[in-house]
Chain A
Amino acid sequence: MDLPQQLFNGIFLGSIYALFALGYTLVFGVLDVLNLAHAAVFTVGACMALVLVARLGLPAWLGVVGASLGAGLLGLLLDRVAFAPLRGRPEERFAGLISSLAMASLFIAFVQGLFGPNAYVFPPDAVTIDALRIAGARLPIVQLVVIGVSLALMAGLGWLVQRTRFGRSLRAVAENPRAAALLGIDVARVNAETFFISSALGGVAGALFALAFDSVSFDMGTSVELKGLAVIIVGGMGSLLGAFVGGLVLGLAEVLAIAGIGSTWRDAVAFGLLFLILIVRPAGLFGRTGTRRD
C-alpha cells in the first residue's frame, strides 16, 4: 500500500494542521480566549500571498513574508476591535467568541467581495514542482519546505516563549494578568503583541497552504478550521509542542485510515482516535491538568 509514500503524505498533511494550530493555540495559552477569526486570518493571508506573487510578480518566499506581516497587522486590528474592549468585563471569554466570529464574517465577506466565489491559482513557475525520491516515495520540494517551516516555527516560537524577555512577560500575563500588571508589565501591549505573532503565524500557514495546493478561494479556511480546533484540544490547549504533535497525529491518522481502511472512513477513524486520546488524557497530550487563572 505504498507505506513510505503514505507516511510522507500524512506527515505533510499533519504539518499543515500543525502550522495552522500553532498560532491558534498561542492566543489560547496566553490570553485564555479562543480566537474564532483565526481561520479567516489564514484565508486573508493566502489572498495576500496571491496578490503579491500572482499580481505583483514577487517571488514566493516574499509572498509568504508579506502575508505574515499583513496578517500580523490584521491581528492587531482583531485585538483592538474584538478583544480589547471586552477585557476585564464579566464573561469576557464567551463575548470574545462572538466578537471574533463577527470579525471572521467581516474578513471573509471582504475577501469574497474582492475575489468573488472563484478559486485562483498561482503562476505556473511560482513554486518548483521538483521532487526527491527516497525509498520509492515521491517527496515534492514544496511539501518538504512546508514540513521544515512548521518545525522551525514551532522551535522558534518555543524559544521566544521560554528564553526571551518578551516570553517571560508573556508567561507572566498568561499566569495572572493582574499580578503581571502590578509587576510593571504593560499587559495591553503583551496582548497586542501576542495577537500580532499569532495572526502572523496564521498568515504564514495560509500562504504556504495556498502555495502547496496551488489554490486560493474565500472558503479555504473551512477545511482547516474544525481540524485546527481538534488539534489544539488533543495537543493540550495552549501547548505549542502539543499543537505540533497533535497536527501530526491527525494528519497521519487521516492518511492511514484512507490507506488501510477506506476513504469513506477517514473522518470517523481520525476523530475516533482523537476521542480515544482525550479519554486517556483529558487535558490533551501535553496539557497541564487543573486551571490556571481564576
Chain B
Amino acid sequence: MRTIQIAAALSAVLSLAACTGGAGSPSASAPSASAPSATASASSSSGGGAAVEAKIGAVLSLTKAAAVYGKTQQNGLELAVKDVNAKGAVKIDLQIEDDASDPATGITAFQKLINQDQVAAIIGPTLSNTATSTDPIAQKAGVPVLGISNTASGITDIGDFIFRDSLTEAQVIPQTISTAKAKYSLTKVAVLYGQDDAFTKSGYDVFSQALKDGGVTVTDTETFSKGDKNFNAQLTKAIGTAPDALVVSALADEGTLILQQARQAGFTGPIIGGNGFNSPAVITNGGQAAEGLVVGAAWNQASDIPANKTFISEYTAAYGSPPDQFAAQAYAGVEILAAAIEAAGSADRTAIRDALGTVKDLDTPLGSFSFTSSRDAQAPAAVQVVQNGTFAVLK
C-alpha cells in the first residue's frame, strides 16, 4: 500500500515537471528537431534525393480492454511507414507507446513523446475516452495530433492542432439508415440499445435522429445493460410489434448475442447495427445469425480503388490475415501525415499542422481523403451487409 502511494506521488511530481517543461519547450525544441531536416527539405524540393526526416510518435492501446483494436492499428502503422519510407520523399522514424487502454497512462506516453523524444507529430490514441485527456496536452505544447480511431464528438474541438482521419458515428449512421431504408423499403423499425455505455447511448441518439429525419417510424424502443446475456424478453416484445428491421446500438459481445437470439426467435428481417458491430468477431461468433446484418463503416473493404487493393494484399501478405477498418485507418493516417510533412518540407510542428489543413483528395485505402474545416475526416462512408460470412457493400 505504502509503495503504491509513493509511486503515485512520484508519478504526480514527474507529470507536473513534464507539464511545465512542455509549456516552455516547443519553441526551444522544435528548431533542434527540424534543423537537420530543413536543409534536407531544401535539397529535396530542388529535386535532390534526400528525404525529409521526421520522428513520429504513436500512442496505441496495445494491452487491456482495447488491445483488439491497438494490435491491428500497430500493424497498419508499421506497414505504412515501410511503404512511405520506400517511396523516398519522406523518411519517418516511428515510435510506438502503449497506453494500456487507460487515460492516465496515455497522458504519460504523450508527455514522454513530446518532451523527451521530441516527436514532430503524434498518431492516436486508440480510444476517444483517452483522447479527451491526452490531446489538450499536445495542443498546449503545439504538437499536431492525428486521431485514427476516435469517433466521439468534440475531439477535434480540443484545438487547432487536433485532426482525425476516422469518420464519426454522426457521419456514418445517417448514411447507413438512408441506404438501408432505400434498399429494404423500411417504414417501421424497432430499436434496442445499451443504456449504460456512453458509446452505445450516443450511437442510439444518432440512430434515433437519423430515423426521424428519414421518416421511419419507431415501433418500440428497448434497452439493456452491459454484461446482459439474455435478451429474449426485449426481443419478444420488439419483434411482436412487427418491425421491418431491428436497429441495434451495442458493443460486439452483446451485439452478437442479440443477433443470435433475434434469429432464434424467428426474426428474418435485416438487423442494422452501429460501429460496435464492425468487428470480424461478430461474424465468426455470430455465424449464420450474422447473415443480413447491415453496418455502416468508415472503410469500404470491398472498394476496388488501387490504393485499397494494394493495401489489402500487402497487409494480408505481411500479417497472414486480412486487415480490418482500424488497420486501414492507421495505414491512411501515416500516408496523410507523410503527405503533410512532404508539403511542409520540414519536420517543424507548426509547419506540419499548417500542411495537414491543406491535405485534399489524397488517395488512401479509405478513398479520396480530405479534412473538413473543423479538422474532421471527409471521406466516403460504406454501408455493408454480411453475406456468406463476409462484409459486402450494400447497394
**Distance A140 CA – B261 CA, assembled complex (angstroms):** 11
- Any chain A CB within 8 A of the CB of B232? yes
Contacts of A237 in B (CB 8 A): none
Chain B's interface size range is 20 to 34
Contacts of B224 in A (CB 8 A): 263
- Any chain B CB within 8 A of the CB of A255? yes
Contacts of A264 in B (CB 8 A): 195, 223
Q: Interface digits, A180-208 against B, CB 8 Å rule (1 contact, 0 not)?
A: 00000000000000000000000000000
Q: Which 5 A-B pairs have the closest CB atoms?
A: A255-B233, A258-B233, A9-B232, A263-B222, A263-B223
Q: Measuring CB to CB, which residues of chain A are less than 8 angstroms from any residue of chain B?
A: 1-2, 5-6, 9-10, 12-13, 16, 117-121, 124, 129, 131, 138, 140, 209, 213-215, 217, 219-220, 222-223, 254-255, 258-259, 262-264, 267
Contacts of A222 in B (CB 8 A): 227
| B229 with A1: CB separation less than 8 A | no
Q: How far is the CB of B60 from chain A (nearest CB, A)?
A: 16
| B264 with A140: CB separation less than 8 A | yes
Q: How far is the CB of B323 from chain A (nearest CB, A)?
A: 18
Give B249-305 interface residues, CB cut-off 8 Å to A: 252-253, 256-257, 260, 264-266, 281, 285, 287-288
Give B212-263 interface residues, CB cut-off 8 Å to A: 222-225, 227-230, 232-234, 236-237, 240, 252-253, 256-257, 260
**Distance A219 CA – B195 CA, assembled complex (angstroms):** 19
Q: How far is the CB of B180 from chain A (nearest CB, A)?
A: 24
**Distance A157 CA – B236 CA, assembled complex (angstroms):** 34
Given A117-B67, A209-B229, A219-B227, decide whether A138 and B266 contact each other with a Cβ distance below 8 A.
yes
Which residue of chain A lies nearest to B195 when distances are taken between CB atoms in the complex?
A264
- Any chain A CB within 8 A of the CB of B10? no
**Distance A1 CA – B232 CA, assembled complex (angstroms):** 13
13 new A-B contacts at CB < 8 Å, known A138-B265, A217-B253, A255-B232: A1-B237, A2-B237, A5-B236, A6-B236, A6-B237, A119-B252, A119-B281, A121-B256, A121-B287, A213-B230, A213-B257, A258-B237, A259-B236
Contacts of B236 in A (CB 8 A): 2, 5-6, 9, 259
Between-chain CB contacts (< 8 Å), 24 pairs: A5-B236, A6-B237, A10-B233, A13-B232, A117-B65, A117-B67, A118-B68, A119-B281, A209-B229, A213-B229, A213-B230, A214-B260, A217-B253, A219-B227, A222-B227, A223-B227, A254-B233, A258-B222, A258-B234, A258-B237, A259-B233, A263-B224, A263-B237, A264-B195
Q: How far is the CB of B285 from chain A (nearest CB, A)?
A: 5
Which residue of chain B lies nearest to A121 when distances are taken between CB atoms in the complex?
B285
**Distance A220 CA – B222 CA, assembled complex (angstroms):** 22
Q: How far is the CB of A281 from chain B (nearest CB, A)?
A: 27
**Distance A259 CA – B68 CA, assembled complex (angstroms):** 36
| B223 with A1: CB separation less than 8 A | no
Which residue of chain B lies nearest to A116 when distances are taken between CB atoms in the complex?
B67
Contacts of A263 in B (CB 8 A): 222-224, 233-234, 237
Q: Interface digits, B131-165 against A, CB 8 Å rule (1 contact, 0 not)?
A: 00000000000000000000000000000000000
| A215 with B257: CB separation less than 8 A | yes
| A220 with B229: CB separation less than 8 A | yes
Which residue of chain A lies nearest to B67 when distances are taken between CB atoms in the complex?
A117
Which residue of chain B lies nearest to A209 when distances are taken between CB atoms in the complex?
B229
**Distance A219 CA – B251 CA, assembled complex (angstroms):** 15
**Distance A258 CA – B232 CA, assembled complex (angstroms):** 10
Give B57-102 interface residues, CB cut-off 8 Å to A: 64-65, 67-68
Which residue of chain B lies nearest to A265 when distances are taken between CB atoms in the complex?
B223
**Distance A254 CA – B65 CA, assembled complex (angstroms):** 30
Q: How far is the CB of A143 from chain B (nearest CB, A)?
A: 9
| B68 with A9: CB separation less than 8 A | no
Contacts of A213 in B (CB 8 A): 229-230, 257
**Distance A224 CA – B281 CA, assembled complex (angstroms):** 24
Contacts of A259 in B (CB 8 A): 233, 236-237
| B230 with A13: CB separation less than 8 A | yes
Contacts of B281 in A (CB 8 A): 118-119
Contacts of B64 in A (CB 8 A): 117
Which residue of chain A lies nearest to B260 when distances are taken between CB atoms in the complex?
A214
Which residue of chain B lies nearest to A254 when distances are taken between CB atoms in the complex?
B233
| B223 with A12: CB separation less than 8 A | no
Which residue of chain A lies nearest to B289 when distances are taken between CB atoms in the complex?
A214
Contacts of A119 in B (CB 8 A): 252-253, 256, 281, 285
Contacts of B67 in A (CB 8 A): 117
* Partner pick for B256 among A131, A138, A215, CB 8 A cutoff: A215
| B234 with A1: CB separation less than 8 A | no
**Distance A16 CA – B285 CA, assembled complex (angstroms):** 22
**Distance A258 CA – B225 CA, assembled complex (angstroms):** 13
Given A119-B281, A217-B253, decide whether A223 and B234 contact each other with a Cβ distance below 8 A.
no
**Distance A163 CA – B221 CA, assembled complex (angstroms):** 51
Which residue of chain A lies nearest to B230 when distances are taken between CB atoms in the complex?
A13
* Partner pick for B253 among A129, A138, A215, A255, CB 8 A cutoff: A215
| B223 with A124: CB separation less than 8 A | no
**Distance A12 CA – B257 CA, assembled complex (angstroms):** 16
Which residue of chain B lies nearest to A214 when distances are taken between CB atoms in the complex?
B260
Given A119-B256, A258-B222, decide whether A12 and B232 contact each other with a Cβ distance below 8 A.
yes
